[in-house]
Chains A and B, each alone.
Chain A
Amino acid sequence: VTVTGALLTALLTCALLLLAFATLIVVKRLLSRRAERRALALTAPLRPALFSLLGADLLDDEATEALEVLAAVDAASWRALEPTVVSLLTKVRGDAAEALTGLLARRGTLARALEDCTRRDPVRRCRGAELLGATRARDGVPTLVRLLADRDPEVRAVAVRALGAVGDPAAAPHLLGALAGDRTVPPRLVAVALVRLCPGPEEVLVSALSDSSELVRGMAAEVLGLAGAVTARTGLVEAVSDPAVEVRVRAARALGRLGVPSALPVLLDALAPEQPTALRVAAAAALGQLGSPSAVPTLRAALDDPATEVARAAASALPALAAPGIAALREAAVPLPALRPPRRGLLRALDADSGGAEHAREVLALLDLRAGRFPDDAGVQEAA
């Protein structure tokens, strides 16, 4: 009897839970629908004012009036409107952005964001930092810099992105500093943020090329390249001889992006067979970007390299070296003797070590396509 009783009780509990869950879903749905309707009712009358603010090239009378309207709405309406204003902020520039930031400052949103950055809850700190970034207000920079050393990794990452969004070059040394130590941040985020700070922090970045940390040196090289900092060329040329491979790779890549002619000798050296593969790949690509025909012999030799990545990079680089580069590719791509099936001249899957001809043909075919010269695809049709 007791077993039966216990079982029946358990069954009853299940039934009650089922009922409770079903009710929960229904109530939740009803409540969120009501909340949506309310928010819509509160914000709908304010939308015209918001749009006239957005359309303003300069703050004309209409826009100023709209700003006043929005600044004066009651607390409940503002709560409903605020997320829209914040999300618009990330999509506009110039006067409209300034007008929106001004509005957020007047409504106390900025002050609240700064306050949020000091909360215990990491999510609040993240939100505060994100908002400071979205407003692009320089007043927030010290707070954001402080958050770079936050104990929560997510807060640190948001602070990095926010500093990039604000774009104050003064933050550069702090961003580089965040790469080292116990409380680190994803390097790619830092790189992107630093690029957004440029122009401005180039000097800091150039001196970072001789930092003691390999990560910082590599990052500085990468960012200088991405930011188009031609003034950094001397430092970057030197960095190709850095003791750390990763730094050398990034410096070579940066020199290619910047198209620094004086980098030719170091890049040719970097392509030499005794160098690490990653560096040789970067060097080959960079030589292509430099566009100097004097690199043709070295790249032509690299076409037959046993390392597929190097051969492919060399082949892809050659067309950029104008006529001599293309001539070298054509020479390398001489048709093979009878071991091809006669019906088709195109190559199939090949072994990695089968030489430069295949790489050359691949690149030439793509070159033809880009130039609008399509291969005779009769053979393909036939096969299909």
Chain B
Amino acid sequence: MTLERLADGLATWLDVSGAAVLTYFILVNTSYLLLLVLATVEFVRHARRHDFAGYDDALASPLTLPVSVLLPAHDEEAGIVESVQAMLGLRYAELEVVVIDDGSTDGTFAALQAAFDLVEVPRVIATDVPTRGRVLSVHVPARSADALVVVRKENGGKADALNTGVNVARYPLVCTVDADSLLDPDALLRVAKPFADDPDRVVATGGVIRAVNGSTVRAGRVVDLRMPRQRLAAVQVVEYLRAFLLGRSGWSRLGALLVISGAFGLFRRDVVVEVGGLDSDVIGEDAELVLRIHRHLREQRRDYRIVFVAEPVSWTEVPATRAVLARQRRRWHRGLTEILWKHRALLLNPRYGRIGLVAVPYFLVFELLAPVVELIGVVVLAASLLLEAVSRLAGEHVVLVSPRYAVLFLGLAYAYAFVLSLAALVVEEFSWHRYSRWRDLGSALIGALLENVGYRQATAWWRLQGILDVVRRTTPTWGTMTRSGFQAADPVAVPARVPAALPAEPDATAGGEPLRRA
């Protein structure tokens, strides 16, 4: 009798939890449906305007804003030369490439020196944004001193390397890229267009990052795009499509884009300087910078825009093994947690408009807490199935009550998510249509299925660990970290823990995307 009552209670609890998880999933996925609709509107707009975008005019114009491409590198010996060559070959009116060798211990610098015939030169470096690692030397190619600058500095992490790059940059726009970012030749023209269209308001633009595994890459360029054969990578292709491409396009359309990937972002240099550069103390320094720009410009009541450019022109290799993926996701989620905590003053604060009232609360509820709800769902599902099985086995002897709805609830939740993954594929097919083979379509469909069965549950576990990393280790230092608001490099704001953002992290190569969806 007692057992029966216990089982009854458990079954009810499972049903209620299942309903709660389902409600959460419906809300998350419906928000994604809305973002997808907004993104589709944006894509149609964009596609209809391609014929008169005026890229060739921008390329030839003497007044196109010149760009400094900032390429931080730490132990990138293998790919650095190819990457720099590809950056130098970008089609653009006027650009310089600034490589910041952030205390590499391998042959990164030697490779660059040999390839570009570098010579050391004296150089006055501005101190517009504060930096930590001392600059050791500055080098330029002996025969074309204007196009490339290589700065060697003491190790200080990626954010610090970028800050040094901002100081070295001579041009009004700075473009952050990763050493392993692959850009199409026209990438910079595309991402710079909003600055030309709306010069008074646009302060930053971000390019979409797509997964390139399985494709053919030659001389730093993607020459033949394919879906990866490898399942884990194929799942991420679909995930990047839905989360980054559609999600960010939607947010951009709403005027509340919170994330620009450091793997391909373009910023007005004066605005970066104004907010004090990148914060060396957070993991997702790229997203933190964008949030800080929002915060600063909203506080100043300035009319500004941060725009996402959805046209697929930048690519990166995504983790191909579980171990690397786990580290990456744990890191991203830790970054998200830190950033939201640091900027918690924005939460539901009407002073920050739609950033404070919509975007930040959304990220808190539907991004940060998503892994928690996801794992509750898994537990409920497992327990329901178990209870069901036990009550069947026990048969006539003991009549156990099994939960009636939990399995259906969760089945529906995942089915809805699967529908959205597929809708993302439809949008891709109708807009950019980058995967042309039938085989690619098959891989994408399987990827969309696996994303919802297995993949997201696994990442939820890793993401949860990211939250725990923050809770366990760093709570006491936060007060001082947020004290000064925008003084990212205020010495008082330096906590004891300095995450070695660039070194020591084996997944740093794939760390360009600090925030992701639920």
Give the interface of A toward B (CB within 8 A).
Answer: 3-4, 7-8, 10-11, 14-15, 17-18, 21-22, 24-26, 28-29, 32, 90, 123, 126-127, 129-130, 154, 157-158, 161, 164, 186-189, 191-192, 195, 222, 226, 308, 311-312, 346-352, 358-359, 361-362, 365-366, 369-370, 374-375, 377, 379-380, 383-384
Contact = CB atoms under 8 A, between A and B. Distances in A.
B382 interface: no
Contacts of A17: 419, 422
A369 B145 contact: yes
A11 B408 contact: yes
Contact of A18 (B54, B57, B422): B422
B478 interface: no
Contacts of B408: 4, 7-8, 11
Given A22-B445, A186-B196, A186-B199, A347 B142 contact: no
A226 B196 contact: no
Interface of B: 48-49, 51-52, 54, 56-57, 61-64, 109-110, 113, 119-127, 134-140, 142-143, 145, 196-199, 404-405, 408-409, 411-412, 415-416, 418-419, 422-423, 425-426, 429-430, 433, 438, 441, 445
Given A188-B199, A192-B57, A346 B120 contact: yes
A126 B140 contact: no
18 contacts: A3-B404, A7-B412, A10-B415, A11-B415, A14-B412, A17-B419, A22-B445, A25-B429, A32-B433, A127-B51, A195-B62, A222-B63, A308-B124, A349-B135, A352-B126, A352-B127, A365-B122, A380-B119
A308 to B, nearest CB: 6
A346 B142 contact: no
A186 B425 CA distance: 36
B94 to A, nearest CB: 13
Which of A15, A26, A127, A347 neighbours the largest number of chain B CB atoms within 10 Å of its CB? A347
A191 B63 contact: yes
Contacts, number: 151
Contacts of B125: 349-350
B337 to A, nearest CB: 32
Contacts of B409: 7
Contact of B124 (A8, A18, A29, A312): A312
B119 A308 contact: no
A375 B120 contact: yes
Nearest to A16: B419
A308 B418 contact: no
A349 B411 CA distance: 60
B124 A21 contact: no
Contacts of B405: 3-4, 7
A13 to B, nearest CB: 9
Contacts of A191: 63
Contacts of A164: 57
Contacts of A374: 119, 142
B124 A358 contact: yes
B152 to A, nearest CB: 8
Contacts of B127: 351-352
Given A10-B412, A22-B445, A29-B441, A123 B48 contact: yes
A11 B411 contact: yes
A74 to B, nearest CB: 24
A188 B124 contact: no
A130 B122 contact: no
A362 B416 contact: no
Given A28-B429, A186-B198, A348-B136, A359 B412 contact: no
Nearest to B113: A384
A384 B411 contact: no
Contacts of B57: 161, 164, 192
Given A127-B52, A384-B113, A25 B426 contact: yes
Given A4-B405, A26-B441, A161-B54, A377 B119 contact: yes
Which of A21, A157, A308 neighbours the largest number of chain B CB atoms within 10 Å of its CB? A21
A380 B114 CA distance: 12
Given A130-B51, A157-B197, A226-B62, A21 B425 contact: yes
A15 B411 CA distance: 11
Contacts of A358: 122, 124
Nearest to B433: A32
